[in-house]
Amino acid sequence: MPYLTIDQENSHDIKLHYQDHGEGEALLFIHGYPFSGVAWEKQEAFFLKEGYRVITYDRRGFGLSSQPSTGYDWDTFAQDLDKLLTHLDLSSVTLIGHSMGSGEITRYASTFGLSRVSRVIYVSPIPPFVLKTEDNSDGVDKEVFEGFKSAIKSDRYAFISEFLKNFYSVDKLTGNSNISDEKLWADFQLASLSSPLAFYHCVDTWTSDFREDLYSLMDVPSLVIHGDDDKILPYEITGKRLAEKINAELKTIKNGSHGIPWTHGEEICEMIQDFIQKTQIEPKVESSSKGASLGVQ
């Protein structure tokens, strides 16, 4: 299994687990909370078949990556992404982020620039700003997020069960081909194995204000895909508003939940492929650097 050493805590290395398969134009998929790179399994299978190089990784604290006690903030997540891009020496890569993955992309763009990136695709995104404030009056009350944290402290496993119901809008989808009890159970197990510290502290990242970061995305081709029945990140104040702010193409999935990479997997694949084909540009010159100083095991 490929791992990239990104930092150290006390006596042990902090490592990111990643998968890098196929050849051709590179697509890097960044997963949502509280899962791992396997959340993109439908997209990985589709794009490998279509002749792309497909890369996924597990955010620190989740999946098979290390579970340190610190680093659960956007600046650190962006640094982790940059270290992976540098290690793989990627250029002209398409970054595709679901939910929290959209935060990594946005902070990465404002911190490191987009010289390695050809296009950006957001699926059920967090930006531009979810929290209700004086200048964001239709946002979500802070008490909602504090309630999440209290519920996690009280019984993380009960929280996961309820979170998944909202994640997939199971009141509308359970019982048909979009979502099964087995999938919900698999996601419950995956979420349960995440770091309890990561699980708790990531909630604070959801209220971050990305409005200034978005200026870094004005000149890159961008696509936003969002379900209009998203019970986790409301469509009107996230995906729809984000598309307007960065002049991105917007694809709205009618009755789509937050978990559309699974429930509408084939539709998402076709939207991504169509956007890639419409925005083809000349490949950027490959860097000679291979990030040799970063440890791999």
Output phi, psi for 92, to 5 deg: 50, 35
Of 99, 102, 124, 194, which is the active-site residue? 99
* Bridge partner residues of 5 (DSSP): 15
Of 17, 31, 226, 258, which is the active-site residue? 258
C-beta of residue 91 within 8 angstroms of C-beta of residue 20: no
Which residue type sits at 45? A
* Bridge partner residues of 119 (DSSP): 94
CA angle 126, 20, 210 (to 5 degrees): 15
Give the HSE-up count for residue 240: Cα atoms under 13 Å, Cβ half-sphere.
11
C-beta of residue 59 within 8 angstroms of C-beta of residue 195: no
C-beta of residue 211 within 8 angstroms of C-beta of residue 129: yes
Of 125, 117, 113, nearest in space to 250 by CA: 125
Q: Is 201 a catalytic residue?
A: no
C-beta of residue 260 within 8 angstroms of C-beta of residue 123: yes
DSSP category for residue 25: S
User: Which single residue is written with the structure tokens 């209700």?
Assistant: 132
Of 36, 58, 230, 257, which is the active-site residue? 230
Q: Is 80 a catalytic residue?
A: no
The residues assigned a catalytic role are 99, 230, 258
